Amino acid sequence: MAPRILLARHGQTEWSLSGKHTGRTDIPLLEEGRNGAKLLGERLHRAPFDGLPDVEVRTSPLARARETCEIAGFGDRATTWDTLMEWDYGSYEGMTPAEIQGVRPGWFIWRDGVPGGETLAQVTARADEVVDWARGADRDVLVFAHGHILRSIGARWLGLGIDFAARIRLSPTSISALGWAYGEPAIESWNETGHLA
């Protein structure tokens, strides 16, 4: 069976709650985020996941992703990987979309990118690196990372341009699965948050 990639977004932070673009700023989880990570871990340790005993785990080195991974019960099995870091938002770091629109009307990150940060091509290249790694694995893989890079990975898994990521939102502490259907890359599940209810 071809390997799948499971995508876990980190728990809620002060900036994700307020809608601020949180790239490389190392924001900690809120208590709500820690609780969500615990519930995510419980979900991944029940059927059909059963703790994913054979899965290879990697996490972004940023604290919000690492802590989510640890609280969910995968920290002792995880390797940190800079490729999973969130988009470097450059001059737009810490700004909400409304604030950015105030200085750049009509701005759309998936088309326009960010000044002083990573280009769309650079984010695409990082997403492609994760996809290539996952497809080359001999088993399922699980990654803990951030909203925009995970959405980018989803788009690239499907062979689509990074702009498709605008259409596949991700909530904090969600779990998604990318796999195969009829021999083609497919979304098995996306943005599952039932464990948080």
What's the CATH number where 103 sits?
A: 3.40.50.1240
HEC letters along the chain: CCCCEEEEECCCEHHHHHCCCCCCCCCCECHHHHHHHHHHHHHHCCCCCCCCCCCEEEECCCHHHHHHHHHCCCHHHEEECHHHCCCCCHHHCCCCHHHHHHHCCCCCHHHHCCCCCCCHHHHHHHHHHHHHHHHHCCCCEEEEECHHHHHHHHHHHCCCCHHHHHHCCCCCCCEEEEEEECCEEEEEEEEECHHHC
Q: Which amino acid is present at 109?
A: I
Q: Does the active-site annotation cover 192? A: no
Report yes or no on whether pTM surpasses 0.85. Answer: yes
9 and 145 in contact (C-beta within 8 Å)?
Answer: yes
Cα-Cα-Cα-Cα torsion 112, 26, 177, 157, nearest 10 degrees, comes to: 40
The pLDDT value given to residue 184: 95
Domain with 127, as residue range(s), is 5-196
Name the active-site residue from 21, 56, 67, 86. Answer: 86
Number of domains the chain is built from: 1
- 86 annotated active-site: yes
pLDDT digits (tens, 9 = 90+) for 148-181: 999 999 999 999 999 999 999 999 999 999 999 9
* Active-site choice (10, 21, 146, 148): 10
What distance in Å separates the CA atoms of residue 189 and residue 169, rounded to the nearest whole number? 12
Span 55-105, pLDDT tens digits: 999 999 999 999 999 999 999 999 999 999 999 999 999 999 999 999 999
